[in-house]
Structure 1
Amino acid sequence: MTSSDHLLDLIRNSPEADLLLRTSFGFDTGRKYYGEGLRLASGAPLEPVAGESAGGAYFLCAEKDGRRPVVFASSEGEGGLIADDLADALEIIIGLEWRDCLGFSGGGDVEVMKVSAQHLERHLARGNPEIAEERARVAAALSLRVVPVADLVVRLWEAASRTEPDHTVTTEDGETYDPPFGEYAEPRHGGWR
């Protein structure tokens, strides 16, 4: 059994962790269907393991050096590598507003991502004052670490920066998903508040 299989079993066997992952962190193992024909540009298949409410999906790639990298593909046609294995991906997913952090990255600038992450964390804490407790409960249930946000940003940036060429998501028709980094440094309407 791989560490990814073990983690997925832990999620399935921990109703509280499964519920929190689904409701607070957008990682729903019951939402694995994501159309047909997505693969890596190399032709390697992707194994769907979870989805999120906006239609995006998380995929495991083929094992490499004893680990199975995790790729995310959004319903808007963006995709790429988010972590080198499922444990790293889950630490990023529970510890960081990672999709918005990538979206407001100034085209992939790690320093812009760090600033964005700070603003996103403040916004998240206002909307969900229990987020730190929820993170700790999920991490404990799955034997994961609660990692400082700045460290998660660097890990996410390093992974996303390695998307091309090996982890570029494509359709069976050969259409390539956009890279994970967004061009904006902050929201266009109103900025960070």
Structure 2
Amino acid sequence: MTSSDHLLDLIQTNPEIDLLLRSSFGFDIHRKYYGDDLSLASGAPLEVIAGESAGGAYFLGVEQNGRRPVVFASSEGEGGLLADDLADALEIIIGLEWRDCLSFSGGGDLEVMQASAQHLERSRYKDNPDIDSEAAQVAAALSLRIVPVADLVIRLQAAASKTEPDYVVTGDGQTFDPLFGEYAEPRHGGWR
């Protein structure tokens, strides 16, 4: 059993943590469906482990050195490497508005991502004032670390940058777009 399998077992057997991950962090182990079979461009298979409310899904890749990389595929046709293993992915998921950080990354520019993350943190607390205590509860139950946002952005940018060539997502004859968005901030009104 890999550490990723162990974490998934812990989530399954802890209803409170399962609910927090699903409701506050968009990681739902009960949504294990994502259309047609996806794989990596290399032909390596992907195992769906969770979904999120916008129709995207999280996948585990093939084990490498005792770790299984985590790949994300959105319902809009973007996909790529999120982290080198599930523990790293979950630390990003509970500690950062990672999807929007990638969307407003200026094509993967680390400085743009850091600025976006700071703006996104304000809206995260406004939307859920208890987010820090919920993240701490999940981290404690799953033996994860609470990592500073700036460090999570560095890890996220490094992982997503490693998508090509080994973690390019394909499905139904199509190659998914990279996770990095081209914009530096929302087009209508900027950051508020």
How high is the TM-score relative to the length of structure 2?
A: 0.99
1:123 is matched with 123
Aligned AA (1:58): Y
2:184 matched to 1:189?
Answer: no
1:54-92 residue CA offsets vs partner (Å, 9 max, x unmatched): 000000000112210000000000000010000000000
Aligned AA (1:33): Y
2:163 is matched with 163
Mapped to 1, the partners of 2:4 and 2:66 lie a distance apart of: 11
1:103-133 residue CA offsets vs partner (Å, 9 max, x unmatched): 0000000110000000000011011110111
Mapped to 2, the partners of 1:116 and 1:86 lie a distance apart of: 24
| TM-fit CA distance, 1:185 | 0.3
1:63 is matched with 63
Task: Please state whether the residue corresponding to 1:113 is helix, strand or coil.
Answer: helix
May I ask how many residue pairs the two structures share in their alignment?
A: 192
CA RMSD of aligned residues (A): 0.6
Sequence identity percentage: 77
Mapped to 1, the partners of 2:45 and 2:53 lie a distance apart of: 23
Task: Please state whether the residue corresponding to 2:112 is helix, strand or coil.
Answer: helix
Mapped to 2, the partners of 1:181 and 1:127 lie a distance apart of: 24
1:114 is matched with 114
Task: Please state whether the residue corresponding to 2:107 is helix, strand or coil.
Answer: coil
Q: Work out whether residues 33 and 48 of structure 1, in 8 Å CA contact, stay in contact via their aligned partners in 2.
A: yes
1:42 is matched with 42
| TM-fit CA distance, 1:36 | 2.0
1:143 is matched with 143
| TM-fit CA distance, 1:172 | 3.7
1:95 is matched with 95
How high is the TM-score relative to the length of structure 1?
A: 0.98
Aligned AA (2:179): P
Q: Which runs of 5+ in 1 are unaligned?
A: none
Mapped to 1, the partners of 2:134 and 2:35 lie a distance apart of: 31
1:4 is matched with 4
Q: Work out whether residues 92 and 98 of structure 1, in 8 Å CA contact, stay in contact via their aligned partners in 2.
A: yes
Mapped to 2, the partners of 1:27 and 1:134 lie a distance apart of: 14
Q: Work out whether residues 39 and 172 of structure 1, in 8 Å CA contact, stay in contact via their aligned partners in 2.
A: no
Aligned AA (2:83): A
2:176 is matched with 177
- Runs ≥4 in structure 1, deviation > 6 angstroms? none
Task: Please state whether the residue corresponding to 2:81 is helix, strand or coil.
Answer: strand
